[in-house]
């Protein structure tokens, strides 16, 4: 009799509704996301979603501009180009111009050194402080339009009641619907990758194992791409990297790997980690010959080069994926490529990746956000939209050293992706400028003075 008294029909109904909700949720997930990811097809839902967002962003930006105009507020306008207009002139030409404007004497009879010369170096220092082309590459790009994310535009404070309601609705959609959906997909993709690659690892080496490994990797990466609502446009697929080669790309985010690996299989290169990342690495290497290094081996350049050379010499192995910048840049420029991967002598397949920051900023500022925090920001953004260009393969030319080859590849990537080609080392993100940069300016100035003295002695 007590059993019947404890029975609550409401609890039973609640359990039934929860069961139905989870069943519908995972059925929709399976039919519209996971199965299309397995076969590499799309229903066009993401493209329609992107076009709808663009129209909403355009309306929101117009409302902000009109509201600021009505209230006599000045809107923040980010500098798309440099703050200071500079013309490409040499050190000698600029110093001569300063001497000419500051002295009535004939330059040919001027002394080797003039006090006015210091103004050139002072001006260079002030310009570097005001318009630093290096450190601004390590911060998120400021948008001209508002994408309903307060983290991406300073003008979000100039909003009306309707915009506030729209922003609140966006928060509910992003955190209440998109974030749980994306987290579920991410765990599904990573879980399948670990389980299936571990199973494939028990198979004997051969064509069947390689085929299954490639299909599993593609399937899992495509699921992870959908976990970011990534909308990717691939160009010039006939230039996709081939076995025995090295694929090099500009580096903006850890998700660069997923973006590229969802369209083709690569052998990854990196340091062995612990925790969840270590479990993923161990399972992946069982099914595919990735190249992982111990912490003590990473600084051994000869060992790294030997492992890479042995891999590319085997034409049956997948192309190696490398990001020669060595750090993440905010997708406005390409910085110095490390020469190590260009010393091997293999065919290099350049790839340019350009993200559209209007939907979500893909740049990872590792000094400000940890990996988990960064991924949560990505999954709570509207979408990740990017374009990928496969450039024609490049080889080292006769008489060309590794540094020159690296710069030529870097210039091609920057040109195709519409990025600024910088000679600075990405290591400046955490380190100081090397003394060699300062010594180079001193040598140029000394050469100018010595040259002037030699010309006078000849005459």
CB 224 within 8 A of CB 379: no
pLDDT value of position 247: 92
Q: Residue 2 — very low, low, confident or very high, per pLDDT cuts 50/70/90? A: very low
Percent of the chain with pLDDT over 70: 69
Average pLDDT score over the chain: 77
Is pLDDT at 290 greater than 60 in this prediction? Answer: yes
Is pLDDT at 151 greater than 70 in this prediction? Answer: no
pLDDT value of position 112: 64
Q: Residue 414 — very low, low, confident or very high, per pLDDT cuts 50/70/90? A: very high
Q: Please choose, from the candidates 382, 379, 386, 381, the residue with its C-alpha nearest in 3D space to the C-alpha of residue 186.
A: 379
Is pLDDT at 60 greater than 70 in this prediction? Answer: yes
| pLDDT tens-place string over residues 358-412 | 888 888 887 777 888 888 888 888 889 999 999 999 998 888 888 889 999 999 9
pLDDT value of position 339: 83
Cα–Cα distance measured from residue 29 to residue 223, given in angstroms and rounded to the nearest whole number: 11
CB 364 within 8 A of CB 254: yes
Cα–Cα distance measured from residue 139 to residue 378, given in angstroms and rounded to the nearest whole number: 16
Q: Residue 451 — very low, low, confident or very high, per pLDDT cuts 50/70/90? A: low
pLDDT value of position 102: 61
Cα–Cα distance measured from residue 198 to residue 314, given in angstroms and rounded to the nearest whole number: 23
- Crossing angle between the packed helical segments 9-29 and 179-200, to the nearest 10 degrees: 60
Cα–Cα distance measured from residue 288 to residue 266, given in angstroms and rounded to the nearest whole number: 9
Q: Residue 110 — very low, low, confident or very high, per pLDDT cuts 50/70/90? A: very low
Cα–Cα distance measured from residue 83 to residue 35, given in angstroms and rounded to the nearest whole number: 49
Phi, psi of 271, deg, nearest 5: -90, 145
Residues contacting 249, CB < 8 A, separation 6+: 256, 260, 321, 323, 350, 351, 352, 353, 413
Phi, psi of 333, deg, nearest 5: -155, 170
Section 316-342 average pLDDT = 86
| pLDDT tens-place string over residues 233-282 | 999 989 999 888 899 999 988 889 999 999 888 988 877 777 777 788 88
- Alpha-helical (H) ranges within 201-300 are 207-226, 256-261, 275-287
Cα–Cα distance measured from residue 24 to residue 342, given in angstroms and rounded to the nearest whole number: 51
Structure tokens of 172?
């509910």
Q: Residue 109 — very low, low, confident or very high, per pLDDT cuts 50/70/90? A: very low
Percent of the chain with pLDDT over 90: 10
Residues contacting 97, CB < 8 A, separation 6+: none
Is pLDDT at 456 greater than 70 in this prediction? Answer: no
Strand partners, 390: 351
- Crossing angle between the packed helical segments 161-173 and 45-70, to the nearest 10 degrees: 150
pLDDT value of position 137: 66
| pLDDT tens-place string over residues 205-218 | 888 888 888 888 88
Section 23-41 average pLDDT = 71
Task: Decide which of 138 and 414 is more confident.
Answer: 414
pTM: 0.77
Cα–chain-centroid distance for residue 32? 28
Section 7-17 average pLDDT = 68
pLDDT value of position 104: 47
Cα–Cα distance measured from residue 249 to residue 324, given in angstroms and rounded to the nearest whole number: 7
pLDDT value of position 4: 47
Section 25-32 average pLDDT = 70
């Amino acid at each position: 009799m007590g059993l019947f008294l404890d029975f609550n029909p409401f609890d039973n109904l609640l359990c039934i509704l929860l069961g139905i909700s989870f069943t519908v949720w995972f059925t929709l997930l399976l039919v519209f996301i996971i199965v299309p990811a397995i076969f590499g097809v799309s229903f066009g839902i993401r493209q329609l979603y992107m076009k709808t967002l663009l129209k909403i962003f355009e309306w929101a930006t117009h409302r902000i501009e009109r509201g600021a105009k009505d209230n006599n507020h000045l809107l923040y306008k980010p500098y798309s180009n440099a703050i200071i207009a500079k013309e490409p002139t040499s050190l000698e030409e600029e110093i001569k111009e300063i001497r000419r404007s500051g002295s009535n004497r004939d330059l040919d009879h001027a002394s080797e050194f003039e006090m006015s010369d210091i103004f050139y170096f002072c001006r260079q220092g002030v310009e570097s402080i005001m318009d630093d082309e290096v450190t601004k590459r390590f911060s998120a790009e400021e948008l001209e339009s508002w994408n309903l994310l307060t983290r991406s535009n300073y003008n979000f404070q100039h909003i009306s009641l309707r915009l506030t309601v729209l922003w609140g609705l966006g928060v509910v959609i992003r955190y209440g619907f998109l974030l749980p959906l994306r987290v579920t997909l991410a765990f599904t993709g990573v879980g399948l990758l670990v389980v299936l690659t571990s199973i494939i690892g028990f198979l004997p080496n051969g064509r069947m194992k390689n085929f299954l490994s490639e299909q599993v990797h593609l399937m899992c990466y495509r699921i992870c791409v959908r976990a970011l609502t990534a909308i990717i446009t691939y160009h010039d697929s006939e230039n996709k990297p081939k076995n025995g080669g090295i694929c090099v790309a500009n580096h903006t985010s850890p998700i660069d790997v997923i973006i590229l690996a969802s369209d083709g299989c690569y052998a990854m290169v990196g340091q062995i980690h612990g925790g969840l990342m270590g479990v993923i690495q161990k399972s992946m290497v069982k099914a595919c010959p990735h190249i992982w290094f111990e912490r003590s081996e990473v600084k051994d350049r000869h060992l790294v080069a030997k492992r890479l050379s042995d891999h590319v010499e085997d034409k049956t192995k997948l192309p190696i994926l490398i990001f020669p910048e060595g750090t993440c840049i905010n997708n406005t420029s390409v910085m110095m490529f490390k020469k190590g991967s260009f010393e091997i002598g293999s065919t290099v397949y350049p790839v340019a990746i350009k993200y559209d920051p209007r939907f979500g900023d893909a740049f990872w500022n590792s000094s400000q956000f940890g990996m988990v925090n960064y991924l949560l920001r990505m999954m709570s953004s509207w979408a990740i939209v990017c374009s990928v260009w496969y450039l024609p393969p490049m080889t080292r030319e006769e008489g060309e050293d590794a540094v020159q080859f690296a710069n030529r590849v870097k210039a091609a990537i920057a040109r195709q992706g519409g990025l600024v080609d910088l000679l600075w080392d990405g290591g400046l993100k955490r380190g100081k400028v090397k003394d060699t940069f300062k010594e180079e300016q001193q040598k140029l100035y000394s050469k100018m003075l010595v040259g002037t003295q030699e010309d006078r002695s000849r005459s």
